[in-house]
Amino acid sequence: MAEVSTGQGALSSEDCWDVLTSREFGRLAYVVDGAPAIVPINYVVDGGQLVFRTSDGTKLHSIVADPRVAFEVDEVDDANEIGISVVVRGEAHVLSADEEYRIEQVGLRAWLGHDRPVLVAIEPHEITGRRYGLKRPWRRMMR
């Protein structure tokens, strides 16, 4: 789990970015034909944006048609009974060839093969995060 401020409640903007930077897997929510869709993606943080790879398909066509997206990373630390969740709301756009070269330098690789030639960036408009205690007494009984 990323080092973030202690205690429960809202995370600072800096803590949210620390969590985002320390992860490489999350969930992208976007709109397909007027309905919500959500998919797991791997990503990197580059400057003030999140970048992921995709192929020419429903996800790409949908975010080009309606670039409003949300993205979430989270983690449960069973040993300490805490959870962290960071949500990013923003707009997605396809990167230009010049930007693609820069992203290649940060090591973004497709997890599902090499057929993900399109790079997409999420420009955040809002980032929120929470750290919370977990109340799961049945877990203690199972140990």
Prediction pTM value: 0.83
Measure the CA–CA gap between 8 and 101, rounded to whole angstroms: 40
Contact 9, 127 (CB under 8 A): no
Of residues 70 and 115, more confidently modeled: 70
Measure the CA–CA gap between 14 and 138, rounded to whole angstroms: 34
Which pLDDT band holds residue 90 (cuts at 50, 70, 90)? very high
Of residues 98 and 65, more confidently modeled: 65
Measure the CA–CA gap between 66 and 49, rounded to whole angstroms: 18
Which has the closest alpha carbon to 59: 38, 86, 80, 76?
Answer: 38
Asked whether residue 57 carries a pLDDT value surpassing 70, the answer given is: yes
pLDDT at 104: 64
- Number of other residues whose CB lies within 10 A of the CB of residue 30: 21
- CATH code reported for the domain at 9-142: 2.30.110.10
pLDDT at 122: 97
Asked whether residue 137 carries a pLDDT value surpassing 90, the answer given is: no
Measure the CA–CA gap between 92 and 136, rounded to whole angstroms: 37
Asked whether residue 132 carries a pLDDT value surpassing 80, the answer given is: yes
pLDDT, average across residues 21-44: 95
Place of tokens 């202690």: 6
